A and B are shown apart, each in its own frame.
Chain A
């Protein structure tokens, strides 16, 4: 365990970004989102939920796959260079960390998505425990502990200090590179400091868990969402009722840390050739499954159902029961029509 004064965070960030890129929540135009740190930027570790998750750091909203030129009828393909610069994502909450695991299972399964894999390989995640989880949080339902966020390094901000605990080799390496800044609170070398730190963290953790226990959405009944109930859930008449307010926008999917649908498109840049890029797509969009000859999901109800069936039934069926929802609650606070997965879970789960 290590510790650094909160007042020295800027120094810490400067040190990290000396060797690599550093992404962390930045306050810009009244909103907090992950962004590339520089001294001019204003970081914000107090806002619990960035608008978009840290998903962008590994799976950017839009990325070029390759460029293709046609010169006198001869094609040439120039694949986009894979990420080869190490970077650190700082301040990811437990839910977002868990979301990366959800994404890993998609992108790292065979055939590996090399663009994603390269970023995962070069990225070190420093997580941050949620000092005060909010009423929109429901991570507990998915076995996530906001008090112990995991990843390569996990940290806690307690009063005027940041407590730093490397968990993996990558985390250790990062810690070593910051040796001058982080005060050692290791049991072997500084037992007193270690004890103090352990205590502080333990206290913080129990406080966090206590809050979570009391949160209104912490105790959802997910028992019905099992692969064997697929058809029953699929055919439920409740979808007709649930989807009605849905505007078919993509807010929920774009703020979601686990939504990974994408589209592949061409941009004809004229003399620069054609760029094939992929960008996030949303299964809520009316043209998601639109093909030249027809659309397999013609109504918003079907699209709405797909999103939640995927998160709660289809994905777990393929991934050892792991839900592709991490309870971050972004959709709860951002949906323009106040729809969200919690309402679906409650309604379909028989609670409401």
Chain B
């Protein structure tokens, strides 16, 4: 962390960047907030630890409108979002100085707290163990139990775009302790369910939705200036789910709109106050796209055509859905 601060100070001092976008210590030790630092002395509050889950790439849309260059710290999976945003002309690469930071997984604070660890001050990952510094001394727990779901099935440690790397080695193995989980496992499990059960699962999950729009507003792919659900082009303006249909409608369309653009950064699931596994919707699209149209990782580059704005003459017919059945 100190290395990051030192480098940030250097870049601020030599005028390479006008501000630093990183994380700032919160009140609790487990709630660092995304923050801008404009002066070297502000960086005393800078923090980078496994609680820093926020993907900062979306903030760069706003940062791109400010004068000067913004230094941003991006974790490996955040860089995919940045690339995707670059591709969609939403961020300005030339106004961004990216330091790729190493990541061994980010934590779901609730999980750590509910494991009975209180008075958290800091945390560090050592192998497959999470070591937490607390007011009551150092506590430990298995890393897997504390990670955000997205990190349990980490898709890689590669930074796809950066100006320099600190604390990260290119080509590091994916996943905590180098073990990548199968990110489609849960999707497959759902696909295997009978339709009734699947419907019940989603009904129960989506009925929790309070339409706070946190998933949408945090999502780097949902970068519309005005969401269709805020405007009335489709008579689609919604504020609250007044009917079970609207819960589904919002999430289906949101997932559809980011299909082929979603990098699977998992922010939607991370921020959902109701713990809805929203990334399972996005991953379903990713899985289908991979199956039907070949492996595609949104944000891996800035040139490729997104699957939904592309086609081949030999694409499968929509009938495939009923032919293969079982939601697969």
Contact A249 B218 (CB under 8 A): yes
Is A339 close to B, CB under 8 A?
yes
Partner of A29 from B26, B31, B205, B270 at Cβ < 8 Å:
B205
Is B188 close to A, CB under 8 A?
no
Contact A244 B35 (CB under 8 A): yes
Contact A277 B274 (CB under 8 A): no
List the A residue with the shortest CB-CB distance to B241. Answer: A62
Nearest CB in chain A: distance from B328 CB, A: 23
Is B210 close to A, CB under 8 A?
yes
Nearest CB in chain A: distance from B96 CB, A: 17
List the B residue with the shortest CB-CB distance to A336. Answer: B271
In angstroms, Cα B216 to Cα A332, docked, is: 20
Q: Which residues of B contact A249 (CB under 8 A)?
A: 212-214, 216-218, 271
In angstroms, Cα B268 to Cα A123, docked, is: 36
Contact B210 A287 (CB under 8 A): no
Interface residues on A, range: 35 or more
In angstroms, Cα B177 to Cα A117, docked, is: 57
Q: Which residues of A contact B216 (CB under 8 A)?
A: 249
Contact B26 A338 (CB under 8 A): yes
Contact B119 A279 (CB under 8 A): no
Give the number of A-B contacts (CB < 8 Å). 116
Is A51 close to B, CB under 8 A?
yes
Contact B27 A217 (CB under 8 A): yes
User: B94-131 CB contact bits vs A (8 Å, 1 = yes)?
Assistant: 00000000000000011000000011000000000000
List the B residue with the shortest CB-CB distance to A52. Answer: B210
Q: Which residues of A contact B273 (CB under 8 A)?
A: 51, 251, 254-255, 334
In angstroms, Cα B238 to Cα A265, docked, is: 9
Partner of B230 from A28, A217, A253, A286 at Cβ < 8 Å:
A286
Is B32 close to A, CB under 8 A?
yes
Contact A31 B218 (CB under 8 A): no
Nearest CB in chain B: distance from A182 CB, A: 32
Nearest CB in chain A: distance from B68 CB, A: 16
Could you tell me which residues of chain A, from 130 to 173, have a CB within 8 Å of some CB in chain B?
A: 135-136
In angstroms, Cα B34 to Cα A178, docked, is: 51
Q: A135-B119, A247-B217, A343-B27 are in contact. Are A337 and B212 (CB under 8 A)?
A: no
Nearest CB in chain A: distance from B223 CB, A: 12
Could you tell me which residues of chain A, from 337 to 352, have a CB within 8 Å of some CB in chain B?
A: 337-339, 342-343, 346
Q: Which residues of A contact B276 (CB under 8 A)?
A: 29
User: B178-220 CB contact bits vs A (8 Å, 1 = yes)?
Assistant: 0000000000000000000000000011001011111011100
Nearest CB in chain A: distance from B245 CB, A: 11
List the A residue with the shortest CB-CB distance to B110. Answer: A333
Q: Which residues of B contact A135 (CB under 8 A)?
A: 28, 118-119
Interface residues in chain A, defined as those with a beta carbon under 8 Å from any beta carbon in chain B: 28-31, 33, 51-52, 61-62, 135-136, 216-217, 244-245, 247-251, 253-255, 263, 265, 267-268, 277, 279-282, 285-287, 332-334, 336-339, 342-343, 346
- Would you list 26 pairs from A and B whose C-beta atoms are within 8 A, ordered by A residue? A33-B208, A51-B273, A51-B274, A52-B210, A61-B241, A244-B34, A245-B35, A249-B217, A251-B214, A251-B271, A254-B211, A255-B210, A263-B239, A265-B239, A267-B242, A280-B240, A286-B226, A287-B230, A332-B27, A333-B109, A337-B34, A338-B33, A338-B34, A339-B33, A342-B27, A346-B27
Contacts beyond the supplied A336-B217, A339-B33: 17 A-B pairs with Cβ under 8 Å: A31-B208, A33-B208, A136-B28, A216-B28, A245-B54, A247-B217, A249-B213, A249-B214, A249-B216, A250-B212, A251-B214, A253-B212, A280-B240, A287-B230, A332-B28, A334-B273, A336-B54
